[in-house]
Each structure stands twice: as C-alpha cells, then as structure tokens.
A and B are shown apart, each in its own frame.
Chain A
Amino acid sequence: MFKQMRAEWYKVFTTKTWMGIVLAAFVFTAMTVFGYVQIAGTLGIPTLEDVRLMNLLYGGSATGVALALILGVVGATAEYRYGTVDHTYLVEPKRSRVLVAKLVVHAIIGSLVGLASFGIAFATTTAAVSGKAHAEVSTSSLIEIGLATVAAFAIYTMLGVAFGSLVRNQLVGVAATFGWIFIFERLMVVFTPDLGKWLPGGAVNGLFGVTAIMNGQEYLPRNESALLLLAYGVILIGACLIVTPKRDIN
C-alpha cells in the first residue's frame, strides 16, 4: 500500500495541474475575504465589529473547497483521460488498493491545501482589517475554524476522487462539479434552505459555522455537519470501491 501511495503522490506532483487548482483556491479565498471586508456593514452584512463576520472572514476558504473537489476529480479522471489507468491497474491489479492509496494521498494533499488556505484567509483577514475597528476572534474559535478548513478540504478532495472514479470522463466530472456547487447547491440553499443544509455544501457551511448570518439560513451544528459530510464520504467512497473494481477498462 505504501508503494501505491508514493506512486500516487508522484502522479500528482510530476505534473503542474495541481498548481493551477491550488492557486485558484488561494486566490478564491483571498478574494472572498477581501470582498467581504469591502462590503462589511452594507447589503445586510454585519460590520467588522460583529464577531460573526470576523469568523466568516477567517473561514473565508470555505468557498475554496470547490477547488478541493476539482483537485480530486481531476486526480481520478486524468487516469482515464490519458489512459494511464492501464499501467496503474497492471502494476496493481487489486484496484481497491489503488483507490484507497489515491484517496489517502488526496486526503493528505487536501489537508495541506486546506491548512494553507486557512493561512491565506488568516493573513488576508489580518491585513484587510488592520487599522479598522473590528471584533476579536478567540484563539479557540480560530483553531476550530482552522480544523474545519483542513477537514472540509480533506473530505472534499476524497469526494472528488470517488466521484471522478465513478464518472471517469474528466470534462463531465469537472462540469458536473461546478454545476453542482455553483448552481444546484446555491439555488437549493437560497430557495429550499431546509433541504440545502443537508447537502454537502450546507454541511461545509455548518462545519465552518460562519455563513448563517448571510441569509438567515441556519445550518446544522458543527458536529452534525461533520458527521453529515463523513456520511457523504462513506456513501460515495463506498460506491467507488464497489463499482470501480468490476468495470471494464477499454
């Protein structure tokens, strides 16, 4: 298993694809934080002196989890797009081992990207509110937000790998991911909030515990959100581990 994990690590870092995705996640995070600081106190958004907004800023990378999902989808579908899946399963015909290695490696990478994204959110927030009156966020809250960021990125990257392994077509996988996150989930959260909070995106918001202030939507508490995300992970990863080993690779 360790050999497979090393090979999966090399697969990610011997091309430059990951750089673009991770950079996009960082830019997304910084822009989100910067944007909220600029419009704080307007459009129904609380001022910087409201600790709920400060929590939201430090959790600004919540919007970047979409890119974590893309990272996983691309990691899995690239094998099929370029046909490298042949060699992958020829070296290790027990496909579930390869999938577990891929999931673990992507979870590690997702965690690291999540940690870095939290660092960017923290640095951007600190810089953006500098010299302005703002509420102080407790160290324990910061730690909770940091852990939520790492967990959300890790789980979303794994969900991406599982989804990508099931879909196999990269274009379809990426398009479906964007469509789900930026269209379907957004609409569900706005128009059917009671359902929206049960979706993965709603669970991420609940995990961060920061965005309920925006539209009055109450998400699930942090622990329940974490469990909900894990449940999505178990279902999707389970489906991937059952289906993928049985499929023909033509």
Chain B
Amino acid sequence: MTASSGTLVEVKNLSKVFSRGKEEVRAVTDLSFVAKPGRVTGFLGPNGAGKTTSLRCLLELVTPSSGLATFNGQQYSELENPAKLVGVSLGFTGLHPGRSAYKHLLVYATAAGIEEKRIDEVLELVGLTNAKNRKAGSFSTGMKQRLSLATALLGDPEVLILDEPVNGLDPEGIVEIRHLLRNLAAQGKTVLLSSHVLSEVQQTVDDVVIIAKGKKVKQCTLQELIEDTRPVIHVVTPTPEKFNSFAGGQVNLAGDRVSIYDTSLAKVGNFAFTNNIELHELSEELLDLEQVFLELTGDRNV
C-alpha cells in the first residue's frame, strides 16, 4: 500500500507482561486489530484495560513481550521519519511547564526536520494561536490536550494515534476535535483514538475495538455495535400482570413498571390496545450503546 492510498495500522498477537518484583502483571494478551485509512477507529475499554500499554507497544515506547505492530508492514522504529508518518498524542502530559507552546513545538519540529512555519499552522488548527507564547505550565487541561494534539499534527502525518484525546476538554472543545478528526479521516488519514467512555467518541468513530482486562472482546463498525443494542420498551400501567401474556419479546415486571426487550413500540402499543390495557406511559429507550459497551467490558452488573 502506498502513502497516497493511506496507511494501515496493524496489531498482531500483541502481548505485554510487566515484571513487578517476583510478580508478573499481564497487561495485554494476544491483541490483534487493524485501523484502516480514511476511518476513525475507537480503541475502547475501561480504565486499566490495557489501552495505553497497547498504544505504547505499538509505538515501541514499551517493548512487547510478544507480537508486533506495523504501519503498512513496517514497525515504528523502522520508519524513516516517523513524525511525518505517525502523529501521536499521549494525553496532556509530555509538556515542560516552563516552555511556551511555540517553543515546545519548535523542539519537536526541529528534531523531525519540519519547517518552522508549520508551527503556526498547527497552533491555528487547534485554536492556540493566541496562547502560543504562554508557558505550558499555565495551561488548563483542555489547552494542554490541544497542544499535545498540535504536536501530533506537526508532521501532517498519515496516521494519528491519540490516547484519550477528549479527556479534559469542554463540550465545545469535544465538538471541535470531533470535526477535526472527521475531517482528517475524510482526507484518507488513519485515526486511532482511545477512550474509556464510549459516549464521548460515539459521534467521532467509524470502527470500534473494545478491550477489557488486556484482551480484545470485540472489533466491528460502530453501526454493527449499534445493531447489537437491544431496544427496550418501558410501560407504566396499573395492570402490569396483563403483559405476562405478551409473546413478542422478553418481559420484566417491576411494580407498575414493565420493561420489554427485543420488540417495538408498535407491537406493544397494539398489544395494549387489543387487550384493553390502561397505559400511563409507553416509551422506548432508543440507544443502549453504553450499556452494550459496559456489558462487553464487564463493567456492568447485569
């Protein structure tokens, strides 16, 4: 695959075991997934699931115990000028508090052989132009997050790897980053972003890779994940027991409240009308994506 057709990020059977004294901690186990060009891939899982360790293995900041990760078949350390192919933001750390935003970018632009005029461009892209001479130590978490993103964008890379990029951002900032990332994916770039909150990135990602306890539990498109959700119809009625005879879905009774899974509003409405049941409420919980995510990652007691 050439650079013009994008860069495929591929993780193959990646495992990482840390040794803490005599104890071994298995952070990532046999993880495999791909992130494709032109798409935003969400790398999702609860805190401690192994997302950051996986990304650090991918970037060779951490040496995997086994397996490997490649960019169009090349490992990170084999890339000729990695900053021009892969842009990375590992959160809002990695900033010297005594160094201004502009000078922070100057250091890494210089190391990567990137022209200085690009610094102003990326500062503009992330909305930090007015703060470019301020020291990073005076930045809010959101501003640090933006500066870290600007660092990732310095080399106008084919691939963006972002660890929790919306952490600490206000709602307006989240929307801006979403538009930016969607725009970059539309240009054919590969975007891989991690998050522990699905709802934060739900409107940004095309594909999802979900991990829990270091293991992949699902890789699919966001649409496929949505299709996995089970619609729930909520009914409030003085005669809930009458719904025991409803055959079009799974019925749960709790007081005067009835929850019916795997059915539709129309079927339940028709059943109530046909059986002359008095209804005080009839509603549908339209999107249960977060609950699916929590079920997959084992974070929900169901």
Contacts and interface: CB of A to CB of B under 8 A. Distances in A.
B73 interface: no
**Chain B contact surface mostly:** mixed
Centre residue among A11, A15, A78, A90 by max chain B CB count within 10 A: A90
Given A15-B99, A16-B98, A249 B62 contact: yes
Interface string B106-135: 111011110000000000000000000000
Contacts of B98: 15-17
Interface in A1-53: 3-4, 6-7, 10-11, 14-17
Contacts of B151: 87
A7 B60 contact: no
Nearest to B91: A83
Given A87-B151, A93-B82, A248 B88 contact: no
Given A14-B106, A84-B96, A90 B59 contact: yes
A135 B183 CA distance: 76
A248 B93 contact: no
Contacts of A88: 111
Given A91-B112, A93-B60, A93-B76, A83 B103 contact: no
A91 B56 contact: no
Given A90-B59, A249-B56, A249-B62, A14 B108 contact: no
Contacts of A93: 60, 76-77, 79, 82
B90 interface: yes
A11 B110 CA distance: 11
Contact of B93 (A4, A83, A90, A92): A83
Nearest to B81: A91
A17 B137 CA distance: 14
Interface string A81-98: 011101111111110000
Contacts of B90: 83, 86
B96 A15 contact: yes
Interface residues of A, number: 27
Contacts of A139: none
Interface in B59-107: 59-63, 76-77, 79, 82-83, 86, 88, 90, 93-100, 103-104, 106-107
A10 B82 contact: no
Contacts, number: 83
Contacts of A91: 82-83, 108, 111-112
A248 B62 CA distance: 4
A7 B61 contact: no
Nearest to B84: A91
Interface of A is mostly: helix
A166 B288 CA distance: 50
A249 B93 CA distance: 13
Contacts of A15: 96, 98-99
Contacts of A90: 59, 61, 82-83, 86, 88
B105 to A, nearest CB: 10
Contact of A10 (B77, B94, B110): B110
A89 to B, nearest CB: 6
Given A82-B94, A91-B112, A93-B82, A11 B61 contact: no
Contacts of B63: 246, 248
B100 A86 contact: no
A250 interface: yes
B97 A82 contact: yes
Contact of A3 (B53, B99, B104, B112): B112
Nearest to A248: B62
Contacts of A250: 53, 56, 62
Contacts of B100: 14
Interface string A69-113: 000000000100011101111111110000000000000000000
B151 to A, nearest CB: 6
Contacts of A11: 96, 107
B111 A4 contact: yes
Contacts of B56: 248-250
18 contacts: A3-B110, A7-B108, A10-B107, A11-B96, A14-B103, A14-B104, A14-B106, A17-B98, A84-B96, A86-B90, A86-B93, A90-B59, A91-B111, A91-B112, A248-B18, A248-B62, A248-B63, A249-B61
Interface of B: 18, 53, 56, 59-63, 76-77, 79, 82-83, 86, 88, 90, 93-100, 103-104, 106-108, 110-113, 151
Interface of A: 3-4, 6-7, 10-11, 14-17, 78, 82-84, 86-94, 246, 248-250
* 4 nearest A-B residue pairs (beta carbon): A7-B111, A83-B93, A15-B98, A14-B103
Given A10-B107, A249-B62, 4 more contacts: A82-B96, A86-B88, A88-B111, A90-B61
